[in-house]
Structure 1
Amino acid sequence: MFRMFLTHTPEALELLFPPSARADLARHGTLVLNPGPDVLGGAALARAAAGCDLVIADRQTGLDAAFFEAAEDVLAVMRCAVDISTIDVAAASARGVLVTRSIPTFAASVSELALGLMIDAARGISRAVTAYRTGQEPGVAMGLQLQGSTLGLCGYGVIGRHLAGLAQALGMRVLITDPAPGALPPGIEALPFDQMLARADVVVCLAPATPQTVGLFGSSAFARMKPGALFLNLARAALVDEPALEAALDSGQIACAALDVGSGPDQRPPSRLAGRPDVIATPHIGGQTPQASEGQALHVASQVAQLAQGLLPPEAVNAEAATRLRARGAAFISPTGA
């Protein structure tokens, strides 16, 4: 049986780790909750988690070297999200702490938000709503009909595949650029990045954040896009050079940007971009649906169940370094027996 610390603040716990997932966790030990409104980190988080075997971390909680140095009891850190960029995996490995991540249960949720942002950007819906609400008469401008238009997806993972299907249902042509796209459904064409940019009316950034993709959308990328194209980012802030995006908007090269992520706190779009009339911004809510949140929380609970059986979850990112778990007395193995 494990003693488990959930880093979620009370507000985040209510949104992101529902009672069904907590009940699943409770089958394998005792839950300890973050009692206060603050996101904990470093030595403060280690003190709060003292005596706990597992730390289940929400996306806002960073786990740095100071945490791993002080967290002498922790056997594993389990991220209730896919992104582990704020976990110092090297420091965890050096201390023998297992790190796991959840799976992307948010494909439908993020894709539906992308579709909504795309329609808004194409027709100026939020601009008109804002004008009416402030007592002004909105201007009447020609919109972009999505049927017959071309969607360019930079990244063809679980979200890209789902969004491509939605776009095809609307009658859009779909182009993708991805280093390993796999087999493509009929009607979807894979192109090099520059060619996709030149042909797409709407470009959606869905690529993973890696050292190779940092700043992928900069001045040269925006210059290659069709004049007046629409740009959406639902991936990570690091992929977009925000000053270059602002310059592209100022020049009219990009007619509108729709952003669910950015360089603000918790990966939210920064206020300087979000407040522009040619930007539609949402506060990093792509995965904020009950189905998506519950799916990730239940998956973490299933990982705890695997640990209770002496199995290392497939989503472990440093399985070979999990010496604290092995020292507990069980021969922890991968689900395949390797």
Structure 2
Amino acid sequence: MARVLVTTDYLRPGDEVDEYLHSAGCATVHRPLRGGRDPEELVAALHGIDAALIANEPLTADVLSRAPSLRVVVRTGVGYDSVDVAAATKHGITVSNLPGINANAVAEYTLGLLLATARRLVQTATGVAAGRWPRDDGRELRGATLGLIGYGASARAVIPLARAFGMSILCVTNVPVDERPDSDVLFVELDELLRTSDYVSVHAALTERTRGLLDAAAFARMKPSAFVVNTARGPIVDEQALASAVREGRIAGAALDVVSTEPLPPDSPLRSVEGIVVYSHLAGQTAEARRAAGLRGAAELLDALAGKPRFALNAAEVTR
């Protein structure tokens, strides 16, 4: 009987995913991740575990080296930067993610952030709650230019929604030209996107190339009236540089669903900066997306245990 560790916080004992795994002959252990987790606690949780259905667990080389029974890791999401895939491969562990599983949820949330930013919804509601009656004007999305950094599933799902609001769309990507079906999108270099966009929305994976991509030099190239929206990964944005740029009026503001350290630390430079609103990493967290991620993740875990993963990042390299 395979023992499965489940750390995704919305998956619970006795739920649909748990019953599915039990029906396949697995025993489950639930250790929900809420905020940070000490590596030693994670090592202890992985003791005797064959497969793990995980959230953003820091599966480092050290942690993986101390999980000798672990054979399969499945992320219940798209990003997998918290997993050392090379170390997993070395130890014969397949690592899977779920491409596009929450693209619709992220796209709708992105439009929500754009609208909230353009119409100052958070600031207005906060003002009313504090006893004021704010009447500042907002901006319309129609006629504005949206710059997408990345062209994965979530970015592609944003495009028709942004078009419906009458926005012009730019995109920077490494996707080959013959794999770009959106004829209404203008594909440009990053410099042009930054100089031209009214809203810059991040949809890229976190890699060494994208880490700190939006830094002080990037903000200096943007319009003073422009906003940054990030629903991808926190470290893509240099938070100190962003805070300085907004505070000094070099850009207008930012809506961030993700930050470098989650939950947001008390000493974060993003705190108390007028124009920066931080949310709690909810872009992909709808009931529909969570159900799909849980069930598809469980199915992928079982397939991987059987040696037939569909979404493994390293299946070809893993030797047993």
Scaled by the length of structure 2, the TM-score of the pair is: 0.89
* CA pair 220-65 structure 1, distance change in 2 beyond 3 A: closer
> Is this contact kept in 1: 2:201–2:228, CA < 8 A?
yes
The match for 1:301 is: 298
* CA pair 41-244 structure 1, distance change in 2 beyond 3 A: closer
Q: Which runs of 5+ in 1 are unaligned?
A: 325-338
The match for 1:83 is: 79
How far apart are the structure 1 equivalents of 2:149 and 2:14? 33
Q: Percent identity?
A: 32
- Amino acid across the alignment from 2:151: Y
The structural deviation recorded for 1:197 is 1.5
Number of residues of Structure 1 aligned to a counterpart in Structure 2: 317
* CA pair 133-189 structure 1, distance change in 2 beyond 3 A: same
- Spell out the pairing of 1:149-188 with structure 2 (5 A cutoff): 149-180=144-175, 182-188=179-185
Q: 1:224 aligns with which of 213, 221, 226?
A: 221
> Is this contact kept in 1: 2:257–2:279, CA < 8 A?
yes
- Amino acid across the alignment from 1:189: L
Deviation per residue, 1:10-39 (Å, 9 max, x gap): x5434xx98222222222222322368876
> Is this contact kept in 1: 2:18–2:28, CA < 8 A?
no
- Amino acid across the alignment from 2:125: V
> Is this contact kept in 2: 1:111–1:162, CA < 8 A?
yes
> Is this contact kept in 1: 2:21–2:28, CA < 8 A?
no
How far apart are the structure 1 equivalents of 2:40 and 2:276? 39
2:245 paired with 1:245: no
The match for 1:5 is: 5
> Is this contact kept in 2: 1:42–1:65, CA < 8 A?
no
- Spell out the pairing of 1:57-72 with structure 2 (5 A cutoff): 57-59=54-56, 61-72=57-68
More helix by share: 1
The structural deviation recorded for 1:179 is 1.6
Deviation per residue, 1:137-177 (Å, 9 max, x gap): 32x33321111111111111111111111010011111111
- Spell out the pairing of 1:237-316 with structure 2 (5 A cutoff): 237-265=234-262, 271-307=268-304, 310-316=306-312
Q: 2:139 aligns with which of 138, 144, 166?
A: 144
SS of 2:252 mapped into structure 1:
strand
Q: 1:131 aligns with which of 121, 127, 135?
A: 127
> Is this contact kept in 2: 1:80–1:102, CA < 8 A?
yes
> Is this contact kept in 1: 2:77–2:102, CA < 8 A?
no
The match for 1:95 is: 91
The match for 2:206 is: 209
Deviation per residue, 1:33-55 (Å, 9 max, x gap): 23688766645434434333212
> Is this contact kept in 1: 2:79–2:205, CA < 8 A?
no
Scaled by the length of structure 1, the TM-score of the pair is: 0.85
SS of 2:26 mapped into structure 1:
strand
> Is this contact kept in 1: 2:77–2:101, CA < 8 A?
no
* CA pair 305-145 structure 1, distance change in 2 beyond 3 A: same
Q: Which runs of 5+ in 2 are unaligned?
A: none
> Is this contact kept in 1: 2:52–2:73, CA < 8 A?
yes
The match for 1:55 is: 52
- Amino acid across the alignment from 1:294: R
Between structure 1 and structure 2, the one with the greater Rg is: 1
RMSD in angstroms over aligned alpha carbons?
Answer: 2.5
> Is this contact kept in 2: 1:214–1:238, CA < 8 A?
yes
- Amino acid across the alignment from 1:216: L
How far apart are the structure 1 equivalents of 2:110 and 2:51? 35
Q: 1:22 aligns with which of 5, 18, 22?
A: 18
SS of 2:4 mapped into structure 1:
strand
